Amino acid sequence: MAELMPELPDILRANRSFLRRAVLYLVDQGITQFLDLGSGIPTVGNVHEIAWKANPECHIVYVDIDPVAVVHSRAILRGADHATAILGDLRRPQEILNDAQTREMLDFTRPIGLLMIATLHFVPDSDDPRGIIDQYLDAVVPGSYLAISHASLEGPTPTRAGEATQQFRRCVTDITTRTRAEVTDLFTAVKLEDPGVVYLTEWHPEPGDNTSDAARMYTFAGVGRKIG
């Protein structure tokens, strides 16, 4: 894929950077609980590392469908009182929301940060991603947040990006890219925070960040707040 799309390593790093900025933003808004849906194989800069530096009292539940990712997560979190990892399919919200470990770790009477970072492009339209998101949002109180990053073909060389996507489908798994408008539609049930749905590097960039070529990220990101 990287041969077809040389930007890929930069996209992956930018996605990780968005995760960090989004978590810190939510902590600044008073969020101390996170449900990370599709957390993946643990790597440097996990949600708990980011959140605990800002507030050691943050509670985190990692969810992934891959048993290997969950085993690694549990090994990393061994001895940690404020974080856990569970095996689950984000397309089955009620199973995740009613999981005993989820209920033990998170207080659903207080706001929660829902993280869907680079996961929803693995959910086809036939699985109704909007409906899945709505089930999670129905379970959390107003003041909770939803953070999403999502792959797209909108960028400077869409044909080349499309070829890389086809390679991913052949070698790894199916993927559904969506337009900016379609990603924005995923936030219908919440109030989008400024600057709305933008390319990864354009969402709350830090001093010194270069956003002049943001479209080469081919990934949109946004954060929304549940109002009522």
**4-8, 29-33, 177-181: lowest mean pLDDT where?**
4-8
**30-34, 143-147, 224-228: lowest mean pLDDT where?**
224-228
Give 76's contacts (C-beta < 8 A, 6+ positions apart): 42, 46
Element housing 50 (H / E) = helix 47-54
Please state the rounded mean pLDDT for residues 216-227. 95
Element housing 192 (H / E) = strand 191-192
Q: Where are the beta strands (DSSP E) in 24-173?
A: 33-37, 59-64, 83-87, 113-117, 145-151
Q: Which CATH architecture has domain 8-225?
A: 3-Layer(aba) Sandwich (3.40)
Cα–Cα distance, 56 to 184 (Å, whole number):
32
Give the tens place of pLDDT for each residue, 128-186.
999 999 999 999 999 999 999 999 988 777 676 677 677 767 666 778 999 999 999 99
Query: Model confidence at 209, in pLDDT bands (50, 70, 90)?
Result: confident
Task: Give residue 171's pLDDT.
Answer: 65
**Residue holding tokens 């959140």?**
51
| Rg of the chain over all Cα atoms, to the nearest angstrom | 17
Three-state secondary structure string covering 19-47: HHHHHHHHHHCCCCEEEEECCCCCCCCCH
Give the tens place of pLDDT for each residue, 56-105.
999 999 999 999 999 999 999 998 899 999 999 999 999 999 999 999 99
Assess contact for 187 and 148: CB atoms under 8 A.
yes
Indicate if the pLDDT at residue 47 is higher than 90: yes
Assess contact for 116 and 122: CB atoms under 8 A.
no
Amino acid at 68: V
pTM: 0.93
Closest CA to 176 of 132, 96, 118, 223: 118
Give the tens place of pLDDT for each residue, 189-201.
999 999 999 999 9
